[in-house]
Structure 1
Amino acid sequence: MAIEGFTQSFVDVGAVRLSVHRAGAGAPLILLHGFPQNHRCWEKIAPSLAEHFDVIVPDLRGYGESDAPEGVAAYAKREMARDIVGLMDALALAKAHVLGHDRGARVSYRLALDHSARVDRLGIIEIVPTGDFWAAWDAELAMAAYHWTFLAQPAPLPERMIAADGPGYIDWTLASWTHRRSLDVFSEAALESYRAQGADPLRVAAMCNDYRAGATIDRQIDAESRSAGLKIAAPMLFLWGAGGFPAKTGDPLGVWRDWAEDLSGVELEGSGHFAMEEVPDAVLAAVLGHFAEAD
């Protein structure tokens, strides 16, 4: 299910093979999706971005049509960031702009910290760093982000519960995280691809392992990075929905100031968690302005 105007290929990046969609010309721009989605989450803005950039949209390991290795350690964001380095190597790209949403944003900032020479400019949508998000939990945030603890429970508890109605769980999750609590911001093609993941035991296990890694390995690596004083060197744009998860942490832009040397941010009115689908024009305007500055 390629985005309109994009072509699909499969690229060996080292440990795994990724499904990759690509279109356009110019400076390379890599788009990284989140949970419970895949490359289709970019369908409203990717064609316009391809008018300005060489747009590369992989399915992260475990999602879409990419390989889904077993085990929690396979989904540490450090490992997933290495996949993107491997993808850049396979495509002969020395550097690229990187824009990530949700879990893909966690891969993106880990990529910028661990492989700073490979990231030109960075965009982060709808997250604060993993360790900071865990530290911000109170009753309200715990209720809103219950999936962080549910999906991270030991196997096979969440897998078995989701298996009772995987597509239904996907629909409920998507709708409940939008500003209007509705599926109407998603295309039928996108919904079909997301529901297919919810019905696939391999993909469900991968998504759970993604969150298990977030509760353990990723949190520890974040703490080590903070202790070492590491900061993101790439100019960084942070976008967050007024009704999304980072907004519930109090001062999300302030959280990122401790991590980034060169930071700008935009709060997106009328948006919940899925900003690219809910307010695509606002997202497109912000990211075009940010990445065009490199020219």
Structure 2
Amino acid sequence: MDAATFDLVQSMLYAQRGLSVRNRFVDLADPPMRVHVTEVGSGEPLVLIHGGNSVAMSWLPLLPALASRFRVILPDRPGCGLTGPFDYRGVDLRAHGAAFVAGLLDGLGLERAALAANSMGGYFALAFAVEHPERVSRLILLGEPAGSSERAPLFHRLVGTRGLNALLYATVLRPPGDAVGLRQGWAKGRLVVHPDRVPDDLAECLAAGARLPGASRSWRRMVERVFVPAGSGVFARGMRATRALAPELARVSCPTLFLWGSEDPLGAPDVGRGLAERMPDARLVEIPDAGHLPWIDQPDRCATGILEFLPARPAEV
């Protein structure tokens, strides 16, 4: 799958959902790159930052509801989608994540915006909110922000182990070839409780995104930066992303909502409650019968939670 074909596939999918989207590239200075951005709807800006090994299209189940009230902004994160490959070796993920969100908002001409994010995108959003609390009007975190728990499932620890992950991807963890492969992979990783709820056309598109040149390599390099090696330095053990931010979460002054799947394999809802307790204005809503991607399992519940949390026009500061 090349980028031009993927662009065509996802454009057709937006059109089939009746969504009139606008696509462009935003140039970032640090790190220097061109970030692909899709926009839909009008109103106050709402930036949705997807998780690892994914693309902006993954937010599709939420878009009809959100675009009815907001200018929804969907960037492909570095290493993903039409933004293209990115080498995470040696990258300080915290600094990178905060700089990515800052550069994106600057490139869009936005001094302040509401952010909604998942997994690695959630970590990026939190890192940015800690560094620039005045630029975030509201923050929504869907699913566990990357590295919230001390321990991770074996699958993610293996993927986070340098060298071993390359061998696994060359043999048993190849990118999904189609919708069936994507659903099977999500079910094995317990990313969703109900893989059958992923629409066929969306599953095909996300599988295509995972096969873009450099996508799996970018994800493997990124995951390596999240994990702390065990004593021997051979196998990945604990995580160092959101957990490392925890002592500074009191700086996130904006209203914050955690929408946390009851069956999230990367951290139980109590992990999210612990994060929320560190923040001055945060609360957690547990999404029942949902995994790490709660808006896939329960799109209506998540859309309703977001719309009830976000004012149509945030109050001026």
Report the TM-score range of the alignment, normalised by the length of the smaller protein.
Answer: 0.7 to 0.9
- Structure 2 equivalent of residue 244 of structure 1: 264
- Structure 1 equivalent of residue 306 of structure 2: 287
Contact 1:232–1:259, Cα closer than 8 Å, also in 2: no
Are 1:133 and 2:156 counterparts?
no
Change (3 A) 1:243 1:250: closer
Question: Which 10-residue stretch deviates more, 111-120 or 1-10?
Answer: 1-10
Aligned equivalents of 2:221 and 2:52: distance in 1? 12
Question: AA paired with 1:109?
Answer: L
- Structure 1 equivalent of residue 175 of structure 2: 166
Q: 1:203-282 maps to which residues of 2 (within 5 A)?
A: 203-216=215-228, 225-226=245-246, 230-245=250-265, 248-249=267-268, 251-282=270-301
Contact 1:36–1:170, Cα closer than 8 Å, also in 2: no
Question: AA paired with 1:284?
Answer: A
From 56, 63, 81, give the equivalent of 1:64.
81
Contact 1:152–1:208, Cα closer than 8 Å, also in 2: yes
- Return the offset for 1:194: 2.6
- Structure 1 equivalent of residue 119 of structure 2: 102
Change (3 A) 1:73 1:116: farther
From 178, 193, 205, give the equivalent of 2:205.
193
Contact 2:113–2:135, Cα closer than 8 Å, also in 1: yes
- Structure 2 equivalent of residue 151 of structure 1: 159
How many residues are aligned here? 283
Could you say what secondary structure the match of 2:81 adopts? coil
Aligned equivalents of 2:248 and 2:255: distance in 1? 20
- Return the offset for 1:34: 1.0
Contact 2:269–2:286, Cα closer than 8 Å, also in 1: no
Could you say what secondary structure the match of 1:28 adopts? strand
TM-score in terms of structure 2 length: 0.80
Aligned equivalents of 1:65 and 1:16: distance in 2? 11
Change (3 A) 1:228 1:44: closer
Question: Which 10-residue stretch deviates more, 36-45 or 184-193?
Answer: 184-193
Q: Deviations over 1:184-213 (max 9, x none)?
A: 222333322332344345111111122112
- Return the offset for 1:116: 1.3
Question: AA paired with 1:244?
Answer: D
Provide the alpha-carbon RMSD of the alignment: 2.6
Contact 1:128–1:256, Cα closer than 8 Å, also in 2: no
Aligned equivalents of 1:229 and 1:90: distance in 2? 26
Identity of aligned residues (%): 22
Contact 1:64–1:193, Cα closer than 8 Å, also in 2: no
**Moved beyond 6 Å, runs of 4+:** none
- Return the offset for 1:150: 1.4
Aligned equivalents of 1:170 and 1:152: distance in 2? 20
Contact 1:25–1:54, Cα closer than 8 Å, also in 2: yes
Contact 1:126–1:241, Cα closer than 8 Å, also in 2: yes
Aligned equivalents of 1:63 and 1:272: distance in 2? 22
Aligned equivalents of 1:79 and 1:210: distance in 2? 11
Could you say what secondary structure the match of 2:37 adopts? strand
- Structure 2 equivalent of residue 55 of structure 1: 72
Could you say what secondary structure the match of 2:138 adopts? strand
Aligned equivalents of 1:268 and 1:223: distance in 2? 22
Could you say what secondary structure the match of 1:243 adopts? coil
TM-score in terms of structure 1 length: 0.85
